[in-house]
Structure 1
Amino acid sequence: MNAPSSLRPGSMRIALLSLLGIVVLGGLAAWWLHTHERVERRIQMPRTGEARRNPLYALQLALQKDGVAVKSRRRLQLLPGAGKEEASVPLAARDTVVIYNDPRTLTAPEAAGLLHWVDAGGHLIVRTPPLGLLATNTPVPLFADLQLMPMGRDNSECAEMKGNRGPTTDEAADEAATVQTDAAAERAEGLLFCGARRFTLAGANPVHSWGDLKAGYVFARIQRGNGSVDVLADLDFLDSDELEDPASFLLARQLLQPNHRAGTVHLVYAAQMPSLWVTIIRHSWMAWGPLLLALMLWLWRRMQRFGPGLPAPSTERRSLLEHIVASGELEYRYGYAHLLYDAARNAFLARLRRRDPQAAALQGEPQLMLLAERFQDVPPGEIRDALLPPFAHDHTAFRTRIATLIRLRNRL
C-alpha cells in the first residue's frame, strides 16, 4: 500500500492567504473600534401634515400629554360663518385663547366679544402688532380697550432686560429659582424678547408686568372681571422650534397657569395672512429684482439722449406729379415743346375717338363744326387754334393751346 500523500502546494497557499486576510480584517476592526466612537445624532426632518402648517403643533401635543383639552384652528371664529368650516366656536367661561399672530385682524365686534368673555372668567393671550412694511400704524381695537399703546422696535441692548422682570406668582418664582444657573434662564431674562415690539401703559394697571415705563413693557397681565389678559411683545417662543428651549417652555407654562386644566385651550395660529404685495417684496426679490434691472437697462438702451425732443427730419419728397411737372419743364426748356403739344393733342383725339367716333374721323372744317356744336360754350376760334401746332418760342400760344386741349378732353 502507498503512504498518505502530503498537502498540495496550492492548498497550503490558499490556507496562508485566508489566514492573512483574517488577520488584516481583525486588525482593521480593532483599529476602527479603537479610533471611532458611536454617537447619536438628531437630524431635523422636514415637517409634514399639521406640523408643517401649524406653528403651535408642539405646544398642542405638550398640552395634550399634560391632560389639557386643546383645540387648534386658523381663525378665531367667534361669529357664525357661511360654511361649515367657518362655523362659530363657543368659548367656555374658564377657557384660554392664544392668538399667535397679528391682533390687528380682530375687528371691533370680535374684540368686544373677547373682552366680554374675559370678564366672565376667560384668559386671553395676545402679542403686540409686529412692525412691517405696511400698516404699521393701523389702530388695534383690542389694545385701545385695554388702554395699551404699542411702541417702536426695541433698539436697546438685550442685556438691559436682565433684572427688569416684574413680580410673578410664588410658584413661578420658585420654578425660576430652580433653573437660575441654567443657560436657558439667562436667555429668558436677556434674549427672549430681544428686538420685539414693546408697549406702554396708557391707563392700564397690570397685575404682573415685565419692563418699565421708560424702556417699555414686554409682558403685562391685566385683570378684567373674573378673567385676565396677557399681552406680550412677541409670541415666537411658543413656536415648535423655540419651545424646545427650557426658558421658552417655562414662560409658556407661566402664561397658561391661570386657567390650567380648568377649560379648553384654543390655539389660533393663523389670524392673519400676509398680503400679496408684502410677500412679493419680502420673499420674491430674487425674481423681480433682475427683471427690474433688465427693464431699466432696456429703457437706457432705447433712450437716445437727455433733453427736449428735436423736430423730426424732413422726409424725401416722392410725389409722382412733381416728377411729371419737372420732366415737362425740362423738355420745354430744351426746345421739345412740340412733343408736349403732340402728347396733349393725341390724348384729346384718343378720347374723342372713344366718345364721338364720327367727329374723330373727319378733318378740317367739318370736324370743327361738329366740335363747335358739341362744345357750344367754347369759341370756334379757340378750338381751331388748339388743333393747330403753335409757333416756336410762342409761349402764350403754347400755354393757351395746351389748356384748351386739356379742358376739351376733360369735358368729353
Structure 2
Amino acid sequence: MSTRINGSRGFARAALLWTLLLVGIAAAAFLYFFEYYTKEVDLGFDAEARRNPYLAAEKFLDRIDVPHRQADNIAVLSELNDNDVLFLANSNLIYNEQRLWELLEWVEQGGQAIVVSNQLSTDGERNLLLDLLDLEVTYGDTDLYFNWQLREVFGEEAKTLQDKTVSELMRDHNRKLAEKSKNQNSDTALIEDAKEVAQDTNTEGTRNPEVDPERLINLTSDGGTSYSLYFDPELLLTHEMMAQGDEVDVQGGLLHWVTFQDLAPPSGQEVAQPSDASHYDSNLLHHQSPLAFFEYGRGKITLMADNGLWQNRRIGEFDHAFFLAHLTGQKNLVMITRPHFLGFSELIQRYWLEFFTAGGLVLLAWIANRSRRFGPREPEGASVRRSLLEHVRACGYFYWREQAARKQFEAIRSRLHDKILPNASAAPSGHQQAEFSQLLAERTGLTSNEIITTLWGAAPHSEETFTARMRSLQIIEDAL
C-alpha cells in the first residue's frame, strides 16, 4: 500500500517539473524571437474636424490668445467695429450689393477683412466684390500635391510626376506593383517594406512638403518678419493691369498684388492642364496672383483664391498659421465659414419677447377698434313698404329706358284697329277716319283730332305724350 502511494507522488512531481521546464522554454523562445514595438496609424480627422475644416486654425488662435468667434452670415457687419477682422470663407457670402457697400463702408472706417474667392462661376452668378475690383478667378498651373487621393497612393513621389495624366500614373503604378510581386522573393520584399516604412517615417517627421522654391510666396512684414506661404496655383486671381505693374487705383482705393516668381514648368516638361481646358491660357502664367490687397480708406481687404491655406490639412505647413496671426494682429477675428440663416422657429425663440409684445399691441388695437360696437343692442327700425304706385312708376321708367313703350303702344292700337275694321286690308281713308272719329267722339267725350291722332297718328316720343295716348286708347277701348 505504501509503495503505490510513493510511486504516484513521484510521478506527479516529475510531471510538474516537465511542465515548468516546457513553460520556461516557451517563455524564453518568445522573448528571444518576438519584439514589442508600437506603430501609429493615421485614422484621419475626427468627427469635429471633418465638420469644421477650420478647427485647427481655431485651436491655434486659442493657443496664442487671439480672440475669435463664428458668425452666422454677412449680416454681422452691423455689429462690427474697427477692432474686428472679418474672415469670409467664400466671397459669394456677399450676396447682394447692399451687403457689398456695407462691407466697403466698414473697411473705409478702419475695418480689416480677409476674403476667399475660390470658385469659378458656372451658373452665371456674379461675384460682386471681384467685379467691383475688376478681378477674376482663373485656372493656373496644376500641382498634384493638392490632390490628396494621389498623394495617398504615390506619396511624395507625386510631385515629380507632373508631366503625366492621372490614368497614366495609375497604369505605371499598377505595373510596378505587379513586377515587384513577381520578381522579388519574400526576404527582399521584407527589406523593401522596411525601407519604405523608414522613408515614410522620415517624411512624416517633416512639417513642410518638398516643393519648388519658385512656387513659394515670401512676404516680409513692416516689422521685418518673413513669411513663407505655399498657395495652390490651380486657381488664381488675375487683373487686366497685372502685366503692367503690381498695383492699380480702383474705386478710390489702391489694389496691389503679389505674383509667383516663375510658374513656367521645368525644362522638358509640360504643365498638366485641368479637365476644362477651355479656361486655361498659358499666356497668363506670369500675370496671375494668389494674393491681393485692396487698401480702402483706413482699412484693407485681403483677397486670395486658395481656400485651403488655413484649413486643417495645410495650416501647419510653412508659415500659414503665423500669417493668419499676422493678418489678425491684436484684433478680434470674426469667422464666417459655415453660413447659417435663422428659420421661423429660431426667430421666434430668439425674439419671443418682441413677438408677444407686438401680438399684445395688435390685440389692444383690435379691442379699441371694436369697443364702440359693444353694449346693448339698438332696436331695429320699422320696415317701410313701398306703395303700388311706386312699383308701377318704376316699371314704367324701366320699360321706357328699354324702348318698350313704342312696342306696347303699337300692340294696343293694332288690337283696336281689328275691332274697328275687322276685314280691312289697308288703313281707312281720311273721310272714313273723320266719320269714325266723329262717332267715337260722341261716345267717349274726346275730340275728333285726339281720336284721329291716337288711332292713326305717329307713335309718341315723350313720356307725357305716351301717357296721354295710352289714356285715350283705354277710353276708346272701353267705348267699343
Q: How high is the TM-score relative to the length of structure 2? A: 0.44
Show the 5 A alignment for 1:179-328. 188-189=229-230, 192-200=231-239, 203-204=248-249, 205-207=254-256, 209-211=258-260, 214-244=286-316, 246-247=317-318, 250-261=319-330, 263-271=331-339
Tell me which residue corresponds to 2:68: 70
In structure 1, the residue matched to 2:126 is 139
Q: Which has the higher helix share?
A: 2
Distance in 1 between residues matched to 2:213 and 2:97, nearest whole Å: 33
Cα offset for 1:52?
4.1
Match of 1:282 in 2: none
- Counterpart AA for 1:215: H
- Equivalent position SS for 1:138: coil
Shift of 1:271: 4.2
* Structure 1 residues 135-171: Cα deviation after superposition (integer angstroms, max 9, x where no partner): 2x432222233x2321421146798981684753255
Contact persistence 2:107–2:301 (CA under 8 A): yes
- Call closer, same or farther: CA 1:240–1:156 in 2, change over 3 Å: closer
Q: Structure 2: how far apart are the matches of 1:26 and 1:229?
A: 70
8 Å CA contact 1:207–1:220 kept in 2: the answer is yes
Partner-residue secondary structure (3-state), 2:119: coil
Deviation at 1:193, TM superposition (A): 1.4
* Structure 2 residue matching 1:144: 3-state secondary structure: helix
SS in 1 for 2:19: helix
| Higher RCO (Cα < 8 Å, 6 or more apart) | 2
Alpha-carbon contact 1:103-1:129 (below 8 Å) kept: no
Segments of 5+ residues of structure 2 without an aligned counterpart are 145-210, 242-247, 262-283, 342-480
Partner of residue 104, structure 2: 115
Partner AA of 2:289 in structure 1 = Y
SS across alignment from 2:20? helix
Q: What letter corresponds to residue 34 of structure 2 in structure 1?
A: W
Residues 166 and 208 in structure 1, CA contact (< 8 A), matched pair in contact too:
no
Q: Matches of 2:216 and 2:34 in 1, distance apart?
A: 54
Q: Pick from 139, 154, 168: which aligns with 1:153?
A: 139
Matched AA of 1:194: P
Aligned length in residues: 239
Residue aligning to 1:9? 11
After TM superposition, give the deviation of residue 62 of structure 1 in Å: 1.4
Instruction: Name the amino acid aligned to 1:11.
Output: R
Report what 1:46 is aligned to. 46
* Residues in 1 aligned to 2:15 and 2:215: alpha-carbon distance in whole angstroms: 80
Assess if the C-alpha contact under 8 Å between 1:105 and 1:271 holds in 2. no
Q: Paired residue for 2:113? A: 124
The separation in 2 between residues aligned to 1:233 and 1:161, in whole angstroms, is: 20
Q: Among residues 220, 226, 231, which one is paired with 1:168 in the alignment?
A: 220
Counterpart for residue 58 of structure 2: 60
Secondary structure at the counterpart of residue 8 of structure 1: helix
- Using the size of structure 1 for normalisation, the TM-score is 0.50
- For 1:272 and 1:217, how far apart are their aligned partners in 2? 31
The 2-side partners of 1:163 and 1:14 are apart by 73
Return the alpha-carbon distance in structure 2 between the equivalents of residues 64 and 140 of structure 1.
32
Question: Does the Cα contact within 8 Å between 1:122 and 1:228 map onto a contact in 2?
Answer: yes
Give the superposition deviation at 1:175: 4.8
Q: Distance between the aligned counterparts of 2:290 and 2:45, measured in 1?
A: 33
Task: Report the Cα distance in structure 2 between the residues aligned to 1:19 and 1:138, rounded to whole angstroms.
Answer: 82
- Per mean C-alpha deviation after superposition, the further-off stretch among 103-112 and 37-46 is 37-46
Aligned to 2:208: none
Name structure 1 gaps, 5 residues minimum. Answer: 80-88, 177-187, 274-412
1:152 maps to a residue whose letter is: T
Cα distance in 2 for residues equivalent to 1:235 and 1:264: 21
Equivalent-residue separation in structure 1 for 2:297 and 2:102 (angstroms):
14
Distance 2:224 2:92 in 1: 27
Query: Closer, same or farther in 2 for the Cα pair 1:25/1:243, shift >3 Å?
Result: same
Query: What is the one-letter code of the residue matched to 1:254?
Result: F
Contact 1:104 1:140 in 2 (8 A): no
